[in-house]
């Protein structure tokens, strides 16, 4: 048998999987990123020594978990037994960030939390319906991809990694269900507060208690939705809620889906509430400017002492007389000199015409299509600052059959709660007076804004703070011409997508097929 420590970078398993780097270790299982030489892609390899008492159960559990087809679980691609002294489970590789790293930086927003835990609950409910349990669902086992997609690792095998003396019985299965449901509540709590109920887990500090009872999320951190707080408490402390405790994953998913109302997000009318009652989907209304703001104060009238007095009748008569006399004299002078001036003008007309600079006609100074010298993707809140840069040129190629697409996001039209938006930066090459931006799209509805960089900007904007909003439109169809209420002098125009259309149930993506900018 090969000692586990002898495995290192470059080792090949089954003549196919080349180990690249070890990413984690848990319960005796070492997780590696490897390269599948046949399919030329990354895979995840979970290794357990073949002489471990749990090794057979490890492989059998992974095999049983393949009945779970929910896309949110990392699927099993291959099983290896006694491969250089190891049993191995090969899974799909997810380029993603473990949830515990995100939560350790800062708690998630209400909406993002609700979307995330709803996804987890639906996936766990599907597994439970097939008799498969996770048993060790923590933030470390939850991965978030750049697109907002959720991936869960460790399904089934965590049960197998329990001590071998623990027998599985009907009561154990019931306990496994309860364990997974409680874990969902703890993940919900951790997302809202950044603490883990019951103790220190995955680098997260223990959640605070009061008189031996877990403090509710709203007691720990301000700004948490009252309804989310209630759902969390009904999961983690069911004894407090004998009539409506949440004791299964499907019920948790249903509560969260009803709470967020992804498929019909509307702005609720204003209502009175206390300061800490943060509504989950409260949004400020979008104000679309149609022109410059009115002056702060009306023009002031002059004091009477400073106003001119109206002229007297005598002064008016004298002024008319002088005007008439002066007019006769001017007519005489003009008459004598007119012939001379006309002759000179005609004599040199040809020469003068060639020397006088051309004045632009009204048509030349009219609004026209402004050429775009370059276009960039704009993802200021993404983990890699990138949003399909390979497609950006198709938004300005003049062909409506092609276009730039956002990544696909899951759970809600607002990017799964991951970010406020993404977009395109259009570089005009130099500053121009921008008056209108026309955007053609595929799929609807889409929420859009047009943002611009300051006139003095010479670098492509990389954050929202580098630009300012000029006009917004909600629930846009396939074509919209967005007139800037006041022309903006700028070099960089940002088409900012704030909400995505649904392409399939639960999946959201926007596509911009053409952008045309008009101005001077």
Co-location of 231 and 87 in the same domain: no
Residue 301, domain member (yes or no): no
Residue 214: its pLDDT value, please?
93
Among 240, 264, 288, which residue terminates a domain?
264
Q: Rounded distance, CA 443 to CA 509, Å?
A: 8
Residue 384: its pLDDT value, please?
64
Q: Rounded distance, CA 292 to CA 10, Å?
A: 65
Residue 135: its pLDDT value, please?
87
Burial 327-343 (b: 16+ CB within 10 A, else e): eeeeeeeeeeeeeeeee
Residue 237, domain member (yes or no): yes
Co-location of 52 and 117 in the same domain: no
- Tens of pLDDT along the chain (520 residues) come to 444 456 888 999 999 999 998 887 777 888 899 999 999 999 999 999 999 989 999 999 899 999 999 999 999 999 999 999 999 999 998 888 889 989 988 899 998 999 999 999 999 999 999 999 998 899 999 999 877 789 999 888 877 776 655 545 555 788 889 999 999 999 999 999 999 999 888 889 999 998 888 999 999 998 899 999 999 999 999 999 999 999 999 999 999 998 875 433 222 333 333 333 333 333 333 333 333 333 333 334 444 433 444 555 555 454 554 444 444 444 434 454 544 444 444 444 444 433 333 444 444 458 899 999 999 999 998 766 678 888 899 999 998 888 999 988 887 899 888 889 999 999 999 999 999 999 999 999 999 999 999 999 999 999 999 999 999 999 999 999 999 989 999 999 999 999 999 988 778 899 999 999 999 9
Residue 41, domain member (yes or no): yes
Co-location of 101 and 88 in the same domain: no
Residue 237: its pLDDT value, please?
94
Q: Rounded distance, CA 207 to CA 396, Å?
A: 51
Residue 179: its pLDDT value, please?
93
Non-local (6+) Cβ contacts of 388 within 8 A are 377, 404, 405, 406, 407
Co-location of 88 and 100 in the same domain: no
Residue 297: its pLDDT value, please?
33
Co-location of 155 and 21 in the same domain: no
Give the pTM: 0.54
**In the chain, count of helices (H) and strands (E)?**
10, 22
Question: Which residue's entry shows tokens 């473990």?
Answer: 98
- Contact 220/174 with Cβ under 8 angstroms? no
Residue 126: its pLDDT value, please?
96
Query: What are the start-end ranges of the E strands in 381-465?
Result: 404-405, 409-410, 422-442, 446-452
Co-location of 55 and 161 in the same domain: no
Closest CA to 451 of 490, 403, 406, 509: 490
Which residue range(s) make up the domain with 19? 4-92
Residue 365: its pLDDT value, please?
59
Q: Rounded distance, CA 436 to CA 418, Å?
A: 30
Domain count within the chain? 3
Co-location of 75 and 207 in the same domain: no
Q: What is the CATH number of the domain that holds 157?
A: 1.10.510.10
Residue 55: its pLDDT value, please?
92
- Contact 439/482 with Cβ under 8 angstroms? yes
Q: Rounded distance, CA 451 to CA 446, Å?
A: 16
Residue 410: its pLDDT value, please?
80
Cα torsion 286, 292, 295, 301: sign:
negative
Q: Rounded distance, CA 241 to CA 234, Å?
A: 6
- Contact 194/188 with Cβ under 8 angstroms? no
Peptide bond just before 445 cis, omega within 30 deg: yes
Cα torsion 475, 478, 484, 488: sign:
positive
């Amino acid at each position: 048998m090969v000692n586990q420590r002898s495995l290192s970078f470059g080792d090949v398993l089954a003549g196919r999987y080349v180990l690249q780097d070890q990413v984690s270790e848990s319960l005796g299982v070492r997780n590696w990123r490897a390269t599948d030489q046949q399919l030329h892609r990354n895979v995840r390899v979970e290794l357990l020594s073949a002489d471990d008492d749990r090794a057979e159960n490890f492989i059998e559990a992974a095999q049983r978990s393949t009945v779970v087809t929910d896309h949110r679980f990392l699927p099993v691609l291959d099983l290896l037994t006694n491969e250089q002294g190891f049993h191995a489970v090969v899974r799909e590789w997810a380029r993603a960030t473990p949830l515990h790293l995100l939560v350790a930086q800062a708690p998630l927003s209400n909406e993002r939390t609700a979307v995330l835990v709803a996804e987890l609950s639906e996936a766990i409910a599907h597994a439970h319906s097939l008799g498969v349990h996770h048993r060790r669902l923590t933030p470390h086992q939850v991965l978030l991809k750049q697109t907002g997609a959720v991936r869960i690792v460790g399904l089934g095998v965590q049960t197998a990694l329990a001590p071998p003396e623990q027998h599985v019985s009907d009561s154990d299965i019931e306990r496994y269900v309860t364990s997974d449901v409680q874990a969902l509540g703890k993940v919900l709590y951790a997302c809202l507060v950044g603490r883990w109920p019951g103790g220190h887990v995955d680098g997260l500090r223990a959640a605070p208690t009061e008189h031996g009872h877990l403090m509710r999320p709203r007691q720990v951190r301000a700004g948490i939705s009252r309804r989310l707080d209630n759902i969390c408490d009904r999961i983690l402390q069911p004894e407090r809620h004998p009539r409506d405790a949440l004791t299964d994953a499907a019920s948790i998913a249903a509560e969260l889906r009803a709470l967020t109302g992804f498929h019909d997000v509307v702005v609720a009318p204003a209502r009175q509430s206390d300061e800490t009652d943060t509504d989950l989907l409260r949004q400020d209304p979008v104000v679309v400017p149609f022109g410059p703001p009115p002056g702060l104060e009306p023009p002031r009238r002059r004091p009477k002492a400073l106003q001119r007095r109206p002229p007297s009748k005598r002064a008016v008569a004298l002024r008319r007389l002088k005007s008439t006399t002066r007019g006769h004299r001017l007519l005489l002078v003009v008459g004598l000199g007119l012939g001379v001036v006309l002759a000179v003008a005609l004599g040199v007309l040809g020469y003068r015409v060639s020397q006088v600079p051309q004045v632009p006609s009204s048509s030349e100074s009219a609004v026209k299509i402004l050429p775009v010298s370059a276009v960039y993707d704009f993802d200021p809140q993404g983990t890699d600052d990138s949003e399909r840069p390979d497609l950006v040129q198709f938004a300005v190629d003049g062909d409506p059959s092609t276009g730039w697409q956002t990544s696909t996001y899951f759970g809600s039209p607002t990017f799964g709660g991951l970010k406020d938006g993404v977009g395109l930066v259009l570089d005009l090459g130099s500053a121009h007076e921008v008056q209108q931006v026309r955007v053609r799209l595929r799929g609807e509805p889409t929420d859009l804004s047009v943002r611009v960089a300051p006139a003095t900007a010479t670098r492509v904007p990389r954050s929202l703070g580098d630009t300012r909003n000029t006009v917004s439109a909600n629930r846009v169809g396939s074509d919209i011409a967005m007139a800037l209420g006041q022309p903006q002098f700028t070099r960089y125009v940002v088409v900012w997508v704030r909400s995505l259309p649904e392409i399939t149930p639960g999946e959201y993506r926007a596509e911009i097929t053409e952008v045309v900018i008009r101005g001077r």
